[in-house]
Structure 1
Amino acid sequence: MSQTIAVADVGGTHARFAIAEIEDGTVVSLGEPITMGTNDHASFQTAWRHFCEVNPGDEPKSLSVAFAGPVDGEVLKLTNNPWVIRPALAQEKLDVEHFVIVNDFAAVAHAVGALGDEHFDHVTGPEGPFPDDGVTTIVGPGTGLGVAQLLKTADGHMHVIATEGGHIDFAPLDSLEDKILQRMRRDLRRVSVERIACGSGLANIYEALGAMEGKAVPDLDDKELWTRAIEGKDPLAAAALDRFFLTLGAVCGDLALAHGSNAVVLAGGLGYRIRHLFRNSGFADRFIAKGRFERRMEQIPVKLVTHPQAGLFGAAVAFAKEHA
């Protein structure tokens, strides 16, 4: 039996909506997404109404949402955006019969469990398919730093565990990073890894490096700074990008150790944008640099998911599992 549902992927910067088709508990298609800036709408409800207005055909009566924040309260607030969702009122306010909400990186974990090998690029570690059982850690730099776990059991079942692993403490690993942390503590009481290993984290590193060299850095928006860093025309921005990769590699390795993982998946729009830079960065060296556990770390495959809308796809997978 097939079913048409709407799916949404709501982050700190963008909200994406699409129509998905589910059949026998499997996602068989995902329509072209409609992307909106979260700053362009007063609430999730008004963004949803806009999607319904611009989407041709009958309004869907089922909605599954991937939400960038914890989803276990009566009032859900985005970590990096003022929108709130009240799950108990969602069916009434949104005029839907079925409503599912999952953490955004839990949704990506659902997608990772359902996607075929062709949707992943190798980054480091052993090549080949993922292990059939055990824990896969999913990490994604974007507006923030998303983290989730996917547990595969020997009998073929999969369990998704949402986390807030992006908010663990930033741990400097050399004298330069000591200085970056010291600089950032002037403005922040606590510096989490999300302050470094995310889209806006590049600006934090850039400003700190500039201060160390006594240089006034230009006030650039994130898009322009990332362009400068990727193109390498701004030496300080390029140095900041090097540090970004080092930190991301270190935190991915730390999370793999903490989770007991046998695989790691990089996700998120930013990760996809810079996928061609991973192999020549310091990511792999920092990932395995875990002292007595280096040999173990060398055996962990790290891949990058290439599905263009893993959050939306994962929201559909989560809905299919709940209503199978």
Structure 2
Amino acid sequence: MMELVTVDIGGTHARFAIATIADDGAITLGEPETLHTKDHASFQTAWEDFKQRQGGTLPDAVAIAIAGPVGGDVIRFTNNPWIIRPALVKEKLGVSSYTLVNDFGAVGHAVARADAEHFIHLAGPEQPLTNDGTVSILGPGTGLGVAHLWRGPTGDYRVQATEGGHIDFAPLDSIEDAILARLRKRHNRVSIERVVAGPAIVDIFQTLAAMEGRATMEEDDRTIWTRGMSNKDSLAAAAVDRFCLSLGSVAGDIALAQGGFGGVVIAGGLGYRIRDSLLSSGFAERFRAKGRFENLMSEIPVKLIIHPQPGLFGAAAAYAKEHLA
């Protein structure tokens, strides 16, 4: 059995926890601590803050999930001023071993290792994700994370983080044509991230309002999501439903592109918050609606991962795979 620090760093928050990896490979997380990145000048000072909260001592191994590419001599964050120099991790943090992994790569590791109880069935046959083949993973949040997981017949697996959220958006009806037209006024190229990430609900809502000739106030995405999920605003609720339809189309496209015929997993906090809407919307129909491949798509199980800390859990799993396998 060993302990390590596991960290999940985004633009706004850095989450820390102590993870225990048992001799049989089972991973257990301690109570997470969430720190605001704006409150700390660097990752090292945030690390020292967490260390003090843990009584002044930490395990001498760390796994870090990072919202961005993890290659190169210097890792920079898009939405906070921190930098990490991999060559100095051992010295600066006082650890003997470490793993760095892309945040959505960490989610892929979480999908590979999470128990069945951490998944909700969304569409397709009610069967487990494949143990021999490819599973596609996507998560709408501030952006759209995309990865895939390959499992082999011997129990081995590989995770590949991608930039699949930046492929082109393909509208399927006149409403999506109108959404695309609105977005094209600001972007020469419209990616799927512009339509099926959290902030996209604003453009969807404003497009629907314009189609009905309604005058609306400029509102942020959180406000529209709140009104839409409460069903107290029919137009905002229609925007949420449209988001679910588009997400279904995108999830199906990703599965076709990656060969994710062993299953598709929706990840992220937004996916969890809209789970009831996904089940009651046309998400499943849109997922299957791939012309000649509709029968194939109908055989793919689609799940929602509901692990409370997939980034922290997945980073620990990535460490175990790199150092303990």
Q: Flag whether TM exceeds 0.5 (same fold).
A: yes
1:246-295 C-alpha deviation (Å, 9 max, x unpaired): 11111110010011112101111111122222111111111011000000
Structure 2 equivalent of residue 322 of structure 1 = 322
Q: Note the 1:1-324 alignment, pairs <5 A.
A: 2-24=1-23, 26-56=25-55, 58-262=57-261, 263-324=263-324
TM-score, normalised to structure 1's length?
Answer: 0.93
The C-alpha deviation readout for 1:8-47, integer Å capped at 9, x for no partner, is 1122332211110112362431011112333443433333
SS in 1 for 2:126: coil
* 1:107-135 deviation line (CA, Å, top 9, x unaligned): 11111111221211110001122222000
CA distance in 1, matches of 2:118, 2:17: 20
CA contact (8 A) 1:150 1:159 kept: yes
User: Distance between the aligned counterparts of 2:225 and 2:12, measured in 1?
Assistant: 16
Q: Give the letter for the 2:149 counterpart.
A: L
* Structure 1 residues 40 and 191: CA distance shift in structure 2, 3 A: farther
AA at the equivalent of 2:125? P
Cα-to-partner distance string for 1:144-163 (whole Å, 9 max, x where unaligned)? 11111110111221111111
Residue 279 of structure 1 aligns to which amino acid in structure 2? L
Aligned amino acid, residue 286 of structure 1: R
What stretches of structure 1 of length at least 5 have no aligned partner?
none
Question: What is the root-mean-square deviation of aligned Cα atoms in Å?
Answer: 1.9
Matched residues, number: 323
One-letter amino acid of the structure 1 residue matched with residue 295 of structure 2: R
Structure 1 window deviating more from structure 2 (28-37 vs 72-81): it is 72-81
Residue 57 (structure 1) shift: 5.0
Q: Give a deviation string over 1:190-234, Cα, whole Å, max 9, x none.
A: 221112211212123223333444444334343332111101112
**Do the aligned partners of 2:118 and 2:307 also contact (CA within 8 Å) in 1?**
yes
Contact 1:106 1:161 in 2 (8 A): yes
In 2: Cα distance, 1:214 partner to 1:76 partner: 47
SS at match of 2:281: coil
Helix, strand or coil for the counterpart of 2:319? helix
1:25–1:321 Cα contact (<8 Å) kept: no
- For the 8 Å contact 2:244–2:277, the answer to whether it is kept is no
Shift in Å, 1:322 = 1.1
Do 1:12 and 1:143's aligned partners in 2 also have CA atoms closer than 8 Å?
A: no
Distance in 1, matches of 2:171 and 2:36, equals 34
CA contact (8 A) 2:136 2:255 kept: yes
Given that residues 27 and 317 in structure 2 are in contact (C-alpha distance below 8 angstroms), is that contact kept between their aligned partners in structure 1? no
Measure the CA separation in 2 of the matches of 1:210 and 1:85: 44
Identity, % of aligned positions: 57
Q: Shift of the alpha carbon at 1:80?
A: 4.8
Structure 1 CA distance for aligned equivalents of residues 187 and 41 of structure 2: 28
The secondary structure found in structure 1 opposite 2:280 is coil
Superposition deviation, residue 79 in structure 1: 4.6
2:198 partner SS: coil
| Separation of aligned partners in 2, 1:275 and 1:17 | 26
Conserved 8 A contact 2:27-2:313: no
Aligned partner of residue 278 in structure 1, secondary structure: helix
Q: Distance in 1 between matches of 2:310 and 2:74?
A: 25
Determine the C-alpha separation between the residues in 1 that align with 2:214 and 2:315: 45
For residues 60-118 of structure 1, what are the alpha-carbon distances to aligned partners after superposition, in whole Å with 9 as ceiling and x for unaligned?
32111111212122222335555432222222333332221111111111111112212
